[in-house]
Amino acid sequence: MSPYRVTVVIPTKNRGRLLAEAIRSVQALDGPDLDLEILVCDNGSTDDTVDVARALGVRVLDVPTAGSAAARNVGIRAATGDYIAFLDDDDLWLPGQLRPQLALLAAQPDLDACVGQVLPTDAEGHQLGPPYPAELPADGDVFGAFLQRWPQIGALVVRTSVRETVGYQDESLLSSQDWDWQLRIALRHRVGHVAVPGLMFRSRPIATTQEDETNWRRVWVHRRVFWRNVWHGRRRLPRARLLRTALRFDGVYAGYFLRSGAAHAAAGEHPAARRSIACALIISSLHVAASIARDPSEIKWMLRSLLG
Protein backbone atom coordinates (compact mmCIF):
# COMPACT_ATOMS: atom_id res chain seq x y z
CA MET A 1 0.00 0.00 0.00
CA SER A 2 1.23 3.50 -0.84
CA PRO A 3 2.25 5.62 2.16
CA TYR A 4 -0.12 8.24 3.49
CA ARG A 5 0.90 11.66 2.14
CA VAL A 6 0.49 14.12 5.02
CA THR A 7 1.35 17.81 5.18
CA VAL A 8 2.10 18.98 8.72
CA VAL A 9 1.65 22.73 9.25
CA ILE A 10 3.56 24.33 12.14
CA PRO A 11 3.04 28.10 12.65
CA THR A 12 5.80 29.78 14.64
CA LYS A 13 7.39 33.01 15.77
CA ASN A 14 10.50 33.47 17.93
CA ARG A 15 10.38 30.06 19.58
CA GLY A 16 13.48 28.32 18.34
CA ARG A 17 13.95 25.90 21.24
CA LEU A 18 10.29 24.91 21.47
CA LEU A 19 10.02 24.65 17.69
CA ALA A 20 12.91 22.18 17.60
CA GLU A 21 11.08 19.96 20.10
CA ALA A 22 7.87 20.21 18.10
CA ILE A 23 9.55 19.29 14.80
CA ARG A 24 11.38 16.35 16.35
CA SER A 25 8.12 15.03 17.79
CA VAL A 26 6.73 14.94 14.23
CA GLN A 27 9.86 13.43 12.72
CA ALA A 28 9.82 10.70 15.38
CA LEU A 29 6.62 9.35 13.79
CA ASP A 30 8.14 8.94 10.33
CA GLY A 31 8.13 5.51 8.76
CA PRO A 32 7.57 3.65 5.49
CA ASP A 33 3.80 4.06 5.80
CA LEU A 34 4.05 7.87 6.02
CA ASP A 35 5.21 10.47 3.51
CA LEU A 36 5.50 13.60 5.66
CA GLU A 37 5.77 17.13 4.32
CA ILE A 38 6.60 19.42 7.27
CA LEU A 39 5.94 23.11 6.62
CA VAL A 40 7.14 25.62 9.21
CA CYS A 41 5.24 28.86 8.61
CA ASP A 42 7.30 31.67 10.10
CA ASN A 43 5.52 34.81 11.20
CA GLY A 44 8.48 37.21 11.17
CA SER A 45 10.86 35.63 13.67
CA THR A 46 13.84 37.71 14.71
CA ASP A 47 15.69 34.99 16.65
CA ASP A 48 17.21 31.71 15.43
CA THR A 49 13.83 30.08 14.71
CA VAL A 50 14.31 29.87 10.93
CA ASP A 51 17.85 28.49 11.26
CA VAL A 52 16.62 25.88 13.75
CA ALA A 53 13.92 24.70 11.36
CA ARG A 54 16.23 24.52 8.37
CA ALA A 55 18.86 22.67 10.38
CA LEU A 56 16.25 19.99 11.03
CA GLY A 57 15.66 19.65 7.29
CA VAL A 58 12.16 21.11 7.04
CA ARG A 59 10.78 23.66 4.62
CA VAL A 60 10.24 27.19 5.93
CA LEU A 61 7.56 29.47 4.47
CA ASP A 62 7.44 33.20 5.13
CA VAL A 63 4.14 34.59 6.39
CA PRO A 64 3.58 38.18 5.20
CA THR A 65 0.64 38.84 7.56
CA ALA A 66 0.71 38.69 11.35
CA GLY A 67 -1.27 36.07 13.24
CA SER A 68 -1.53 32.33 13.68
CA ALA A 69 -4.45 32.09 11.22
CA ALA A 70 -2.37 33.74 8.50
CA ALA A 71 0.50 31.35 9.25
CA ARG A 72 -1.73 28.27 9.09
CA ASN A 73 -3.36 29.53 5.89
CA VAL A 74 0.02 29.81 4.20
CA GLY A 75 0.63 26.17 5.08
CA ILE A 76 -2.85 25.04 4.05
CA ARG A 77 -2.42 26.71 0.64
CA ALA A 78 1.02 25.20 0.10
CA ALA A 79 0.07 21.68 1.22
CA THR A 80 0.68 18.95 -1.34
CA GLY A 81 -0.33 15.99 0.81
CA ASP A 82 -3.64 14.18 0.67
CA TYR A 83 -4.13 15.05 4.34
CA ILE A 84 -3.27 18.07 6.48
CA ALA A 85 -2.39 18.00 10.16
CA PHE A 86 -1.34 20.80 12.49
CA LEU A 87 0.98 21.35 15.43
CA ASP A 88 1.52 24.56 17.39
CA ASP A 89 5.17 25.28 18.06
CA ASP A 90 4.83 24.98 21.86
CA ASP A 91 3.08 21.58 21.81
CA LEU A 92 4.28 18.06 21.02
CA TRP A 93 2.93 15.10 19.12
CA LEU A 94 2.79 11.77 20.93
CA PRO A 95 3.37 8.35 19.34
CA GLY A 96 -0.41 7.91 19.03
CA GLN A 97 -0.81 10.82 16.63
CA LEU A 98 -1.58 10.48 12.89
CA ARG A 99 -1.75 6.74 12.25
CA PRO A 100 -5.04 6.06 14.10
CA GLN A 101 -6.72 9.05 12.43
CA LEU A 102 -5.40 8.14 9.00
CA ALA A 103 -6.52 4.53 9.38
CA LEU A 104 -10.05 5.64 10.25
CA LEU A 105 -10.19 8.12 7.36
CA ALA A 106 -8.99 5.42 4.95
CA ALA A 107 -11.59 2.97 6.25
CA GLN A 108 -14.46 5.48 6.15
CA PRO A 109 -14.37 7.66 3.02
CA ASP A 110 -17.48 9.53 4.21
CA LEU A 111 -15.42 11.15 6.96
CA ASP A 112 -13.47 14.26 5.97
CA ALA A 113 -11.67 14.86 9.26
CA CYS A 114 -10.70 12.98 12.37
CA VAL A 115 -9.56 14.01 15.84
CA GLY A 116 -7.52 12.13 18.37
CA GLN A 117 -7.20 12.96 22.04
CA VAL A 118 -5.45 15.86 23.73
CA LEU A 119 -3.30 15.26 26.80
CA PRO A 120 -3.33 18.46 28.91
CA THR A 121 -0.06 19.22 30.70
CA ASP A 122 1.66 22.15 32.34
CA ALA A 123 4.66 23.83 30.75
CA GLU A 124 6.98 21.16 32.18
CA GLY A 125 4.93 18.30 30.75
CA HIS A 126 3.18 17.18 33.96
CA GLN A 127 -0.26 15.81 33.19
CA LEU A 128 -3.11 18.02 34.41
CA GLY A 129 -6.09 15.86 33.61
CA PRO A 130 -7.41 12.95 31.53
CA PRO A 131 -7.11 12.93 27.75
CA TYR A 132 -10.03 14.55 25.92
CA PRO A 133 -12.39 14.25 24.16
CA ALA A 134 -13.31 10.92 25.75
CA GLU A 135 -15.82 10.34 22.98
CA LEU A 136 -17.64 12.06 20.12
CA PRO A 137 -20.92 11.21 18.36
CA ALA A 138 -20.50 8.01 16.39
CA ASP A 139 -22.46 9.40 13.43
CA GLY A 140 -19.80 12.07 12.81
CA ASP A 141 -22.10 15.02 13.56
CA VAL A 142 -19.75 16.70 16.06
CA PHE A 143 -20.97 20.29 15.75
CA GLY A 144 -22.66 20.29 19.14
CA ALA A 145 -19.68 18.63 20.78
CA PHE A 146 -17.26 21.11 19.20
CA LEU A 147 -19.40 23.99 20.45
CA GLN A 148 -19.05 22.76 24.01
CA ARG A 149 -15.36 21.88 23.99
CA TRP A 150 -13.25 21.94 20.89
CA PRO A 151 -10.14 19.81 20.47
CA GLN A 152 -6.83 21.59 20.11
CA ILE A 153 -6.03 21.81 16.42
CA GLY A 154 -2.92 19.68 16.92
CA ALA A 155 -5.17 16.65 17.40
CA LEU A 156 -6.94 17.20 14.06
CA VAL A 157 -6.29 15.53 10.70
CA VAL A 158 -8.31 16.65 7.66
CA ARG A 159 -8.50 15.66 4.05
CA THR A 160 -6.83 18.39 2.01
CA SER A 161 -10.05 18.69 0.02
CA VAL A 162 -11.73 20.56 2.91
CA ARG A 163 -9.91 23.71 1.86
CA GLU A 164 -12.14 23.69 -1.22
CA THR A 165 -15.38 23.37 0.76
CA VAL A 166 -14.67 25.20 4.02
CA GLY A 167 -12.00 27.63 2.90
CA TYR A 168 -9.31 29.02 5.15
CA GLN A 169 -9.04 30.31 8.69
CA ASP A 170 -10.44 33.75 9.42
CA GLU A 171 -7.46 36.10 9.68
CA SER A 172 -9.62 38.91 11.04
CA LEU A 173 -10.07 37.06 14.34
CA LEU A 174 -7.57 37.88 17.09
CA SER A 175 -7.92 34.40 18.57
CA SER A 176 -10.04 31.22 18.32
CA GLN A 177 -9.41 31.07 14.56
CA ASP A 178 -8.76 27.33 14.82
CA TRP A 179 -12.01 26.74 16.74
CA ASP A 180 -13.99 28.75 14.18
CA TRP A 181 -12.44 26.68 11.37
CA GLN A 182 -13.20 23.39 13.13
CA LEU A 183 -16.81 24.47 13.69
CA ARG A 184 -17.15 25.27 9.99
CA ILE A 185 -15.75 21.84 9.17
CA ALA A 186 -18.22 20.24 11.59
CA LEU A 187 -21.11 22.09 9.92
CA ARG A 188 -20.17 20.83 6.45
CA HIS A 189 -18.58 17.43 7.04
CA ARG A 190 -18.64 14.32 9.17
CA VAL A 191 -15.77 14.07 11.63
CA GLY A 192 -14.41 10.88 13.15
CA HIS A 193 -12.76 10.30 16.51
CA VAL A 194 -10.12 7.94 17.84
CA ALA A 195 -9.71 7.59 21.60
CA VAL A 196 -5.92 7.66 21.43
CA PRO A 197 -3.82 10.45 23.03
CA GLY A 198 -1.90 12.10 20.20
CA LEU A 199 -1.14 15.64 21.34
CA MET A 200 0.63 16.93 24.42
CA PHE A 201 -0.94 20.35 24.96
CA ARG A 202 1.17 22.62 27.16
CA SER A 203 -0.99 24.97 29.20
CA ARG A 204 0.41 28.39 30.00
CA PRO A 205 0.59 29.53 33.63
CA ILE A 206 -2.22 31.77 34.87
CA ALA A 207 -1.86 35.16 36.58
CA THR A 208 0.69 36.56 34.16
CA THR A 209 0.14 39.88 32.43
CA GLN A 210 0.25 38.20 29.02
CA GLU A 211 -2.21 35.45 29.93
CA ASP A 212 -4.63 37.88 31.59
CA GLU A 213 -4.60 40.11 28.51
CA THR A 214 -4.94 37.12 26.19
CA ASN A 215 -7.99 35.79 28.01
CA TRP A 216 -9.61 39.23 28.17
CA ARG A 217 -9.32 39.58 24.38
CA ARG A 218 -10.31 35.97 23.82
CA VAL A 219 -13.62 36.09 25.64
CA TRP A 220 -15.07 38.64 23.20
CA VAL A 221 -13.73 36.87 20.13
CA HIS A 222 -14.99 33.61 21.56
CA ARG A 223 -18.52 35.00 21.82
CA ARG A 224 -18.37 36.21 18.23
CA VAL A 225 -17.18 32.82 16.94
CA PHE A 226 -19.75 30.97 19.02
CA TRP A 227 -22.80 32.94 17.95
CA ARG A 228 -21.98 33.29 14.27
CA ASN A 229 -21.51 29.53 13.95
CA VAL A 230 -24.61 28.90 16.04
CA TRP A 231 -26.51 31.06 13.54
CA HIS A 232 -25.46 28.79 10.68
CA GLY A 233 -26.16 25.64 12.67
CA ARG A 234 -29.10 26.89 14.70
CA ARG A 235 -31.42 24.11 13.51
CA ARG A 236 -28.99 21.45 14.67
CA LEU A 237 -29.35 21.95 18.43
CA PRO A 238 -32.13 22.90 20.90
CA ARG A 239 -32.11 26.53 21.98
CA ALA A 240 -31.92 25.60 25.66
CA ARG A 241 -28.74 23.63 25.04
CA LEU A 242 -27.17 26.50 23.12
CA LEU A 243 -27.96 28.93 25.93
CA ARG A 244 -26.50 26.59 28.56
CA THR A 245 -23.35 26.21 26.48
CA ALA A 246 -22.97 29.97 26.07
CA LEU A 247 -23.42 30.53 29.81
CA ARG A 248 -20.94 27.77 30.59
CA PHE A 249 -18.27 29.43 28.50
CA ASP A 250 -18.87 32.73 30.28
CA GLY A 251 -18.33 30.78 33.47
CA VAL A 252 -15.07 29.35 32.16
CA TYR A 253 -13.65 32.81 31.48
CA ALA A 254 -15.04 34.34 34.68
CA GLY A 255 -13.52 31.38 36.53
CA TYR A 256 -10.14 32.02 34.93
CA PHE A 257 -10.11 35.60 36.21
CA LEU A 258 -11.18 34.51 39.69
CA ARG A 259 -8.28 32.02 39.82
CA SER A 260 -5.94 34.63 38.38
CA GLY A 261 -7.15 37.20 40.90
CA ALA A 262 -6.60 34.80 43.79
CA ALA A 263 -3.06 34.08 42.56
CA HIS A 264 -2.30 37.80 42.20
CA ALA A 265 -3.68 38.44 45.69
CA ALA A 266 -1.58 35.65 47.20
CA ALA A 267 1.50 37.25 45.62
CA GLY A 268 0.57 40.65 47.03
CA GLU A 269 -0.20 42.01 43.54
CA HIS A 270 -3.39 43.79 44.60
CA PRO A 271 -3.83 46.10 41.57
CA ALA A 272 -3.64 43.07 39.26
CA ALA A 273 -6.04 41.19 41.55
CA ARG A 274 -8.52 44.07 41.38
CA ARG A 275 -8.32 44.07 37.59
CA SER A 276 -9.04 40.34 37.58
CA ILE A 277 -12.08 40.80 39.84
CA ALA A 278 -13.40 43.52 37.53
CA CYS A 279 -12.90 41.33 34.46
CA ALA A 280 -14.73 38.41 36.09
CA LEU A 281 -17.65 40.65 37.06
CA ILE A 282 -17.92 42.16 33.57
CA ILE A 283 -17.87 38.73 31.94
CA SER A 284 -20.42 37.16 34.30
CA SER A 285 -21.39 38.58 37.66
CA LEU A 286 -23.73 35.60 37.98
CA HIS A 287 -20.82 33.16 37.96
CA VAL A 288 -18.86 35.31 40.41
CA ALA A 289 -21.80 35.25 42.82
CA ALA A 290 -22.18 31.49 42.35
CA SER A 291 -18.47 30.96 43.01
CA ILE A 292 -18.66 32.93 46.26
CA ALA A 293 -21.77 31.02 47.28
CA ARG A 294 -19.94 27.72 46.76
CA ASP A 295 -16.84 28.90 48.62
CA PRO A 296 -17.47 31.92 50.88
CA SER A 297 -13.77 32.06 51.78
CA GLU A 298 -13.13 33.61 48.35
CA ILE A 299 -14.50 36.87 49.65
CA LYS A 300 -11.42 37.17 51.89
CA TRP A 301 -8.84 37.56 49.13
CA MET A 302 -11.20 39.83 47.22
CA LEU A 303 -11.58 42.16 50.21
CA ARG A 304 -7.82 42.13 50.86
CA SER A 305 -7.22 43.18 47.27
CA LEU A 306 -9.96 45.80 47.21
CA LEU A 307 -8.69 47.32 50.45
CA GLY A 308 -4.99 46.74 49.82
pLDDT digits (tens, 9 = 90+) for 70-109: 999 999 999 999 999 999 999 999 999 999 999 999 999 9
CB 142 within 8 A of CB 189: no
Look at residue 77 in the predicted model and tell me its pLDDT: 97
Residue 205 has pLDDT above 90, yes or no: no
Residue 243 has pLDDT above 90, yes or no: no
Residue 150 has pLDDT above 80, yes or no: no
Look at residue 162 in the predicted model and tell me its pLDDT: 97
Look at residue 259 in the predicted model and tell me its pLDDT: 95
Look at residue 1 in the predicted model and tell me its pLDDT: 75
Q: What is the mean pLDDT of residues 189-200?
A: 97
Q: What angle do CA 79, 83, 89 make, to 5 degrees?
A: 65
Residue 124 has pLDDT above 90, yes or no: no
Name the fold adopted by 4-202: Spore Coat Polysaccharide Biosynthesis Protein SpsA; Chain A (3.90.550)
Residue 46 has pLDDT above 80, yes or no: yes
Give me the residue spans of the domains in the chain. 4-202, 209-307
Look at residue 239 in the predicted model and tell me its pLDDT: 84
Residue 23 has pLDDT above 90, yes or no: yes
Residue 144 has pLDDT above 80, yes or no: yes
Residue 145 has pLDDT above 90, yes or no: yes
Residue 289 has pLDDT above 80, yes or no: yes
Residue 297 has pLDDT above 80, yes or no: yes
d(CA 209, CA 204): 12
Q: What is the mean pLDDT of residues 232-242?
A: 84
Confidence tier at 234 by pLDDT (50, 70, 90) = confident
Q: What is the mean pLDDT of residues 199-222?
A: 93
Q: Which amino acid is at 102?
A: L
Look at residue 74 in the predicted model and tell me its pLDDT: 97
CB 34 within 8 A of CB 95: no
Q: What is the mean pLDDT of residues 268-276?
A: 95
Look at residue 241 in the predicted model and tell me its pLDDT: 86
Look at residue 30 in the predicted model and tell me its pLDDT: 94
Q: What is the mean pLDDT of residues 178-188?
A: 96
Look at residue 83 in the predicted model and tell me its pLDDT: 98
Residue 255 has pLDDT above 90, yes or no: yes
CB 119 within 8 A of CB 106: no
Look at residue 233 in the predicted model and tell me its pLDDT: 84
Residue 167 has pLDDT above 90, yes or no: yes
Residue 307 has pLDDT above 90, yes or no: no
Residue 236 has pLDDT above 90, yes or no: no
Residue 123 has pLDDT above 90, yes or no: no
User: Mean pLDDT over all residues of the chain?
Assistant: 94
- Give the residue, 242 or 261, on which the prediction is more confident: 261
